Structure 1
């Protein structure tokens, strides 16, 4: 009786420990491809950077101008009541455009299935950063040409001052959203090679 109970206990412990099947050829984990992705990464970076030109042009159309009054003969300007709020509006509009650009770059780069990986992600984030910086340069240039003053204004005249971007930190919105979108798509994919072999 004791012997049979010992055999049953031994059998149950073997089942609890589990059985392992020997694998002759264990599957290799996919490695990060660097060399083959360098040229596509350069293409991604340069193409994404060009989005800064339409982003700056669109910002110059959407950003509100600040109405100011000429209060001095030497060109001193003072904003009208509540008009100084447009300084924040200009920055917020550019921030939303930068985030939309980062979202677009992240999604498009993700659909390059055969090039998924950290190399193209770094290139996409760099392209988004360059695009946002280019937008901060081109946007005010477009706006200044739109609100240019041909003749010296008279004292007391009300002018529309071109919108401007007063901080450079807003350029970080585009690459941050690009990385966030790519990370979310990577987590949603769940494959070790991110589906590269299915391309």
Structure 2
């Protein structure tokens, strides 16, 4: 009767030496993940929308009404790309059975967050280079531009595009959260104490 309540010793406990052996391969993986952040930044710079602005001869400048949402759009696109990047890294890290464990989990959490920061830095720099900023001459309807109903001749103005920006750099945390959640969900789905590590 008492044998039913015997506590089994935990399986898969990593020794200190095994944990230390995981550090070097995890560091190499982390370096690759951080470098891949530059590619993520390039991708964001290519797809993030800029914001069109109109400048009159008097120097007054304002964003077009239809363009005001692009600041949010650029930030949301970056957050989604960074989170997807983190999920992919988390799943790929899980597939390395010989290195499954806390060292890898911590390593990818830090590496994906750092990689997303690199992506934000590179992406904002490249967005400035890739955005066509050549001014374009336009004529504004005087009644719409002034907000009055008084008709009059059109107002000459210049249309230009401001490069996309990331509204909040807190969005880089999406990469780390995505990586950790993907890794933990894989561990939960497996349901093995030793994470099926050989």
TM-score (structure 2 length as normaliser): 0.80
1:10-159 to structure 2, matched below 5 A, reads 18=1, 20=3, 29-32=11-14, 33-71=18-56, 77-147=61-131, 149=133, 156-159=157-160
Contact 2:132 2:161 in 1 (8 A): no
Rounded Cα–Cα distance in structure 1 between residues aligned with 2:106 and 2:126: 30
3-state SS in 1 of match to 2:68: helix
Post-superposition offset of 1:19? 5.7
Return 5+ residue gaps in structure 2 as ranges: 139-155
Contact 2:10 2:193 in 1 (8 A): no
Q: Name the one with the larger strand percent.
A: 2
Rounded Cα–Cα distance in structure 1 between residues aligned with 2:69 and 2:159: 17
CA RMSD in angstroms comes to 2.4
Rounded Cα–Cα distance in structure 2 between residues aligned with 1:28 and 1:96: 38
TM superposition outliers: structure 1 runs of 4+ over 4 Å: 148-151
Rounded Cα–Cα distance in structure 2 between residues aligned with 1:136 and 1:77: 27
Between the two proteins, the alignment pairs up a number of residues equal to 176
Rounded Cα–Cα distance in structure 2 between residues aligned with 1:64 and 1:108: 30
Post-superposition offset of 1:110? 0.2
Rounded Cα–Cα distance in structure 2 between residues aligned with 1:136 and 1:46: 17
Per the alignment, residue 175 of structure 1 pairs with: 176
Return 5+ residue gaps in structure 1 as ranges: 1-17
3-state SS in 2 of match to 1:89: helix
Contact 2:12 2:195 in 1 (8 A): no
Structure (1 or 2) with the larger CA radius of gyration: 1
3-state SS in 2 of match to 1:174: helix
